[in-house]
Amino acid sequence: MKTVLITGGAGFIGSNYVRYALEKHSDWRVVVFDKLTYAGNLDNLKDVAEKFEGRYAFVRGDIADREAVFQAMREHAPALIVNFAADTHVDRSLMEPGTFIMTDVYGTYVLLEAAREFGVERYHQISTDEVYGDIAEPLRSTEDDRLHPSSPYSSSKAGGDLMCLAYGRSFGVPVTITRGSNNIGPYQYPEKVVPLFITNAIDDLPLPLYGDGLQMRDYQHVLDHCDGIDLVLEKGQPGECYNVGSGVETRNIDMAHAILDLLDKPRALIRPVKDRPGHDRRYALDVSKLRALGWSSRHTFAQAIEDTVRWYVNNQWWWRKLKSGEYLEYYKRQYGSAGR
Ligand code: NAD
Ligand code: DAU
């Protein structure tokens, strides 16, 4: 049995990867280490805890807490660390940059220290296409491009990436990094645009579209991202970064139309609102480096969005209880009267 420490495994992508990895690697034992912030949710792992009892353990802890991280390392002796833990929402980073620096930069440093001290076969960092900043058509960001982040979130992620590369170079920690585009699929917290728009549309609430809605994102299915991460763990070279995305960009307005059409709701639900400060216009990745390892995307945008809409329609038990308390306070602060 190989023990794998998956930090942030109770969040959206982390929980999808935990399920994916336990199904795929019958010789893996997964230890999820997660602080359970507002975005972390043990409901995301409910089926995993039941199905993989004996190969799955959960530890509640903060990656910025050195003692807690070192204790988990002593107790579980993982061969691999895969770090999904982060503060992840751009709009929240504009409200509270400090928490992003603590988790996404300092927390990454603590995990790298643990990897260095205890020794691991691989430390893998989950990063984002946002570290490149926006890019004009027809260009695509490659792994060697300069980092040019726009928000406190993306700057913190860029800081984390640079720390990983430094620990590889200076201390020989075998690090790899994947930089993924926007993920969609089951268990995404409904502050992110796709689940926000789906759940609002189900309830006939407005879809707050920032600015002119012509910004472009590469919305990929979370399981395609999981494939990419897993492949890099298996075949990626230490010290290297790999982009992961479908390579197809969709305008936000078209994404909103796709959701409304799938739910048979009127386009009049779209409500243009004030733009996000520093809003990146377009992300687009060159994914040839990952393709060269044998990766290809299994879902088109149409399949990914349809799968996602269906999941939210069928799993209202999961998201209805999230849209209360802290969520509503945040929603009011972010959207004011435009959100209702
Ligand atoms: P998420 O917000 O859904 O989940 C984050 C998880 O990290 C939660 O379970 C939370 O409790 C945990 N966490 C936060 N701070 C922590 C801390 N200090 N210590 C321990 N756990 C902590 O995030 P997500 O969308 O699943 O993103 C996961 C990773 O993927 C992040 O690193 C993010 O930057 C990256 N990423 C996300 C996307 C996307 O589209 N969502 C795309 C590319 C990369
Ligand atoms: O690109 C990868 C990144 O994708 C990840 O690193 C981040 O963790 C993840 O949150 C996501 O960042 P974005 O800012 O692209 O995602 P978000 O869902 O917040 O917004 C997607 C697009 O939709 C963006 O252009 C802003 C727009 N938007 C967003 C919200 C929340 C709206 O028009 N209205 C909204 O209410």
- For residue 193, which ligand has an atom nearest its CA? 2
Task: Scan for tokens 């149409």, then name that residue.
Answer: 302
| Ligand 1 centroid distance, CA of 104 (Å) | 9
**Is residue 157 within 6 Å of ligand 1 at its C-beta?**
yes
Q: What values do phi and psi take at 84, rounded to 5? A: -100, -15
Q: What domains does the chain contain, in order, with CATH numbers?
A: 2-183+222-244 (3.40.50.720), 185-216+248-278+299-339 (3.90.25.10)
Q: What span, in angstroms and rounded, lies between the C-alpha atoms of 306 and 308?
A: 5
**Is residue 37 within 6 Å of ligand 1 at its C-beta?**
yes
Q: What span, in angstroms and rounded, lies between the C-alpha atoms of 295 and 227?
A: 7
Q: How much is the pLDDT for 99? A: 98
Q: What span, in angstroms and rounded, lies between the C-alpha atoms of 9 and 85?
A: 7
Whether residue 138 has a cis bond before it, omega within 30° of 0:
yes
State which ligand 2 atom lies nearest to the alpha carbon of 280. Answer: 25
Task: Scan for tokens 């800081």, then name that residue.
Answer: 159
**Is residue 181 within 6 Å of ligand 2 at its C-beta?**
yes
| Ligand 1 centroid distance, CA of 266 (Å) | 32
Q: What span, in angstroms and rounded, lies between the C-alpha atoms of 108 and 20?
A: 23
Q: How much is the pLDDT for 161? A: 99
**Is residue 92 within 6 Å of ligand 2 at its C-beta?**
no
Catalytic residue among 34, 62, 104, 130: 130
- For residue 104, which ligand has an atom nearest its CA? 1
Q: How much is the pLDDT for 146? A: 97
Q: How much is the pLDDT for 337? A: 85
CA trace torsion 200, 206, 207, 210 (10° rounding): -140
Q: What end-to-end distance do the CA atoms of the chain give, in Å?
A: 51
Catalytic residue among 17, 109, 123, 153: 153
**Is residue 219 within 6 Å of ligand 1 at its C-beta?**
no
Which portions of the chain are predicted below pLDDT 50? none
pLDDT digits (tens, 9 = 90+) for 49-77: 999 999 999 999 999 999 999 999 999 99
8 A C-beta contact, residue 10 and residue 57: no
Q: How much is the pLDDT for 340? A: 77
pLDDT digits (tens, 9 = 90+) for 252-276: 999 999 999 999 999 999 999 999 9
The model's pTM: 0.99
**Is residue 128 within 6 Å of ligand 2 at its C-beta?**
yes
- State how far Cα 338 lies from the chain centre: 27
pLDDT digits (tens, 9 = 90+) for 172-211: 999 999 999 999 999 999 999 999 999 999 999 999 999 9
Is 153 tagged catalytic? yes
State which ligand 2 atom lies nearest to the alpha carbon of 91. Answer: 19
Is 130 tagged catalytic? yes
Task: Scan for tokens 């002119």, then name that residue.
Answer: 212
State which ligand 2 atom lies nearest to the alpha carbon of 335. Answer: 36
Query: Within the chain, where are the H helices?
Result: 12-24, 46-51, 66-76, 90-95, 97-100, 108-118, 152-171, 193-202, 222-235, 252-263, 288-291, 301-314, 316-320, 326-335
- For residue 274, which ligand has an atom nearest its CA? 2
Q: How much is the pLDDT for 251? A: 98
CA trace torsion 108, 111, 116, 117 (10° rounding): 140
- State how far Cα 301 lies from the chain centre: 17
Q: What span, in angstroms and rounded, lies between the C-alpha atoms of 51 and 292?
A: 34
Q: How much is the pLDDT for 272? A: 97
State which ligand 1 atom lies nearest to the alpha carbon of 37. Answer: 11
**Is residue 103 within 6 Å of ligand 1 at its C-beta?**
yes
